[in-house]
């Protein structure tokens, strides 16, 4: 069923990098929910794999020395949504990954794999984009960090070099402290479906809850890569946390979007969805932040 030439088992993150250098045509496999399907369908039949599945150091959620939330690349979707740090500081990320597939997939699929496959429909990606995540790579020269907005380079492509792995995803303290968010996935079915459009908001209100100090609004399937919307964010910055501001931000969002027409939905429908989902996610984020609408 699975045409695999060779399988190498990495014992550490550094060992995985060394194996990738030794076998430059090999691909990383973690949970396997994407790679094994590609092999079975014949798209990468006969490939060699470097498994990182047994590297426990790449699992789990914790706080770094600067107060950032560090999510190991091998942390499963189920563990992300159940983790107490995520539940306390970024519950919207747990909500986002809970929309992925079914329980079986969420138990084996990893958050690192979800962003490393480079697809715009990855349900964790727009929320990580809205929370200004930082990607921590490990390669022959050691670790390097890259903002998630630079991680995606094109449809199905990322900045990861062939001899690098994703070690962790870091959410900076300033991106989650006193911030509240909401994610909506619009799909043709309520479960086990790929998003027609995904929208994630991150709102920081003034201490009195009356103004939007900062809005971050991100989308999936609104372009070839997950993306932020500078026009919408600028339309809300410093303004009252009310329906007029919500409408202005939502209506500005399409200026930064470039969805395509596919069998799932047309371009114009996706642009219509972008406005409506923006209204709903921003409104819900303000409510969660304690604002009154």
- How far apart, in Å, do the first and last CA atoms of the chain sit? 55
Looking at residues 144-158, what average pLDDT do you find?
A: 96
Q: At a CB cut-off of 8 Å and minimum separation 6, what does 40 contact? A: 1, 2
Whether residue 191 has pLDDT greater than 80: no
- Taking phi first (over 0 means left), then psi (-120 to 50 degrees means alpha), and beta for anything else, what does residue 187 get? beta
C-alpha to C-alpha distance for 286 and 242, rounded to whole angstroms: 9
- Using DSSP, state whether 110 is helix, strand or coil: strand
Q: How confident is the model at residue 3 (pLDDT cuts 50, 70, 90)?
A: confident
Question: Whole-structure pTM over 0.75, yes or no?
Answer: yes
Tell me how far CA of residue 130 lies from CA of 21, 39, 158, 191, 293, in angstroms.
Answer: 34, 32, 18, 23, 22
| Residues ≥6 apart with Cβ < 8 Å to 231 | 252, 253, 255, 256
Measured between alpha carbons, how far is 174 from 69 in angstroms, rounded to an integer?
11
Q: If one looks up domain 56-172 in CATH, what number appears?
A: 3.30.465.10
Give the whole-number percent of the chain exceeding pLDDT 70. Answer: 100
pLDDT in the model for residue 232: 98
Rg, Å, the chain Cα set: 19
CATH topology agreement for domains 56-172 and 180-288: no
Task: Identify the pLDDT of residue 34.
Answer: 83
- pLDDT (average), residues 93-110: 94
User: For residues 112 and 169, is the Cβ–Cβ distance under 8 A?
Assistant: yes
Strand order in the sheet with 165-171: 61-63, 69-72, 165-171, 134-139, 142-147
Given a cut of 90, whether residue 247 has pLDDT beyond it is yes
User: What are the structural domain ranges in the chain?
Assistant: 4-51, 56-172, 180-288
Q: Is the pLDDT of residue 157 over 80?
A: yes
Query: What does the pLDDT read at residue 177?
Result: 97
Q: Find the mean pLDDT for residues 41-49.
A: 85
Q: Which fold has domain 180-288?
A: Enolase-like; domain 1 (3.30.390)
- Mean residue pLDDT of the chain comes to 95
- The answer on pLDDT for 49 being more than 70 is yes
Region 150-158: mean pLDDT is: 96
Class of 4-51 in CATH: alpha beta
Instruction: Say if residue 1's pLDDT is above 80.
Output: no
Enter the tokens of residue 114.
């979800």
What is the per-residue pLDDT across 108-117, written as a single tens digit (0 to 9) for each?
999 999 999 9
**Residue 32: its pLDDT value, please?**
85
Mean pLDDT over 241-269 rounds to 97
Q: For residue 181, give every residue at least 6 positions away whose Cβ sits within 8 Å of its Cβ, in sequence order, or none.
A: 90, 92, 127, 130, 131, 200, 201, 202, 203, 281, 285, 288
CA gap 281, 58 in Å, rounded: 31
Summarize the confidence of residues 179-189 as an average pLDDT: 95
């Amino acid at each position: 069923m699975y045409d695999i030439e060779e399988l190498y088992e990495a014992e550490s993150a550094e060992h995985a990098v060394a194996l990738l250098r030794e076998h430059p045509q090999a691909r990383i496999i973690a949970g396997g929910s994407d790679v094994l399907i590609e092999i079975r369908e014949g798209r990468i039949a006969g490939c060699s794999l470097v498994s990182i599945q047994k590297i426990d150091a790449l699992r789990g959620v914790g706080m770094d020395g600067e107060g950032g939330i560090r999510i190991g690349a091998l942390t499963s979707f189920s563990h992300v949504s159940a983790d107490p740090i995520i539940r306390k500081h970024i519950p919207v990320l747990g909500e986002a990954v809970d929309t992925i597939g079914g329980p079986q997939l969420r138990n084996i699929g990893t958050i690192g794999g979800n962003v490393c496959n480079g697809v715009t429909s990855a349900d964790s990606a727009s929320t990580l984009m809205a929370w200004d995540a930082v990607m921590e790579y490990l390669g022959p020269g050691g670790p390097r960090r890259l903002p998630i907005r630079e991680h995606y380079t094109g449809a199905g492509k990322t900045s990861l070099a062939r001899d690098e792995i994703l070690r962790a995803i870091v959410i900076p303290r300033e991106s989650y402290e006193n911030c509240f968010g909401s994610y909506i996935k619009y799909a043709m079915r309520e479960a086990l479906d790929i998003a027609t459009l995904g929208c994630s908001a991150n709102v920081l209100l003034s201490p009195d809850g009356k103004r939007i100090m900062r809005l971050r609004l991100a989308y999936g399937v609104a372009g070839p890569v997950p993306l932020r919307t500078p026009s919408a964010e600028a339309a809300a910055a410093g303004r009252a946390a009310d329906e007029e501001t919500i409408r202005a931000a939502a209506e500005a969002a399409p200026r930064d979007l470039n969805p395509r027409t596919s069998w799932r939905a047309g371009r114009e429908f996706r642009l219509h969805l972008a406005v409506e989902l923006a209204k709903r996610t921003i409104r819900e984020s303000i409510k969660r932040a304690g604002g009154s609408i």
